[in-house]
Amino acid sequence: MFANITKKYRLKNEVRWALFLAISIGLFGFASARHSHRICKKVFVTIANDSLYQFIGEENIRQVLAEGAVPATAGTQVRNISLSGLEKKLEQNPYLQGADVSSDVAGNLLVTVTQKNPVARIFNDQGTDYYISDKGLLFPESKSYTARVLIIKGMPWAWQQNRDLMATEEGKAFVALLKELKTNKFWSAQIAEIELDYRGELTLIPQIGNQIIEFGNPFNAEQKLSKLFAFYQQIVAKAGWNQYRKVSVKFQNQIVCEKRS
């Protein structure tokens, strides 16, 4: 008798769970159907880092959204808008690092984009200037906006042709150096320009002081910057900013300083 009661109880539970599952699926399907038939009410565009850079504006984003086979604009049926397709299209813009496109239950289209973060600007002998992003990607200058970043002159043409500095170990080291020079308060205020020769050897030009800084290749940047900081802290602080014509940190375990004649 006890076994029969247990069996009936289990059967009732299974029926309850089956009904609950069926109702849940039905409600989900109903909600999905309603959502897919919604008309896009508004398009909200957010540029995540527009307080830092103005390479691209909201009107540029809306133009991209409107140019598709199915315009991603108010009045379009939500289910006809390819959200992933819009993301890919937006990310093709040279000034954008990423894009996220979604819709809410009210039928609004939510578009969030992030601009590339420049760490340096290349002055190019070929006539076209480029920026280098913190991801090591080269992207073109903007006609409407100029970012205040470190200047680079004489960058090897092979590096520029590749457009992705992270493809080589030397390029990775160079990007790491640029990021350090930008984010460190002392170096961002002190180093104004980098000159590169055909071998990829770096010369740093300071904001304050008339000396040139021989840095060598971009490898071991942390140790080289540490030696250079010691030069400013221990030597320049005593002798003055303009006593030396050149300082070299390219050689291991030493600083070579050359006084003005």
Chain center to CA of 202: 24
Q: How far apart are the first and last CA of the chain?
A: 111
Q: Which residue has the higher pLDDT, 77 or 23?
A: 77
For residue range 177-201, what is the model confidence (pLDDT) as tens digits?
999 999 999 999 999 999 998 888 9
Mean pLDDT across 172-177: 96
Domain ranges across the chain: 43-115, 118-259
For residue range 158-171, what is the model confidence (pLDDT) as tens digits?
676 778 999 999 99
For residue range 38-52, what is the model confidence (pLDDT) as tens digits?
899 999 999 999 999
Q: Which CATH architecture has domain 43-115?
A: Roll (3.10)
CB 222 within 8 A of CB 229: no
Which helix (H) or strand (E) element contains residue 7?
Answer: helix 2-36
For residue range 225-236, what is the model confidence (pLDDT) as tens digits?
999 999 999 988
Mean pLDDT across 54-63: 95
CB 205 within 8 A of CB 152: no
Sign of CA dihedral 171, 172, 177, 182: positive
CATH code 1.20.1730.10 for 118-259: no
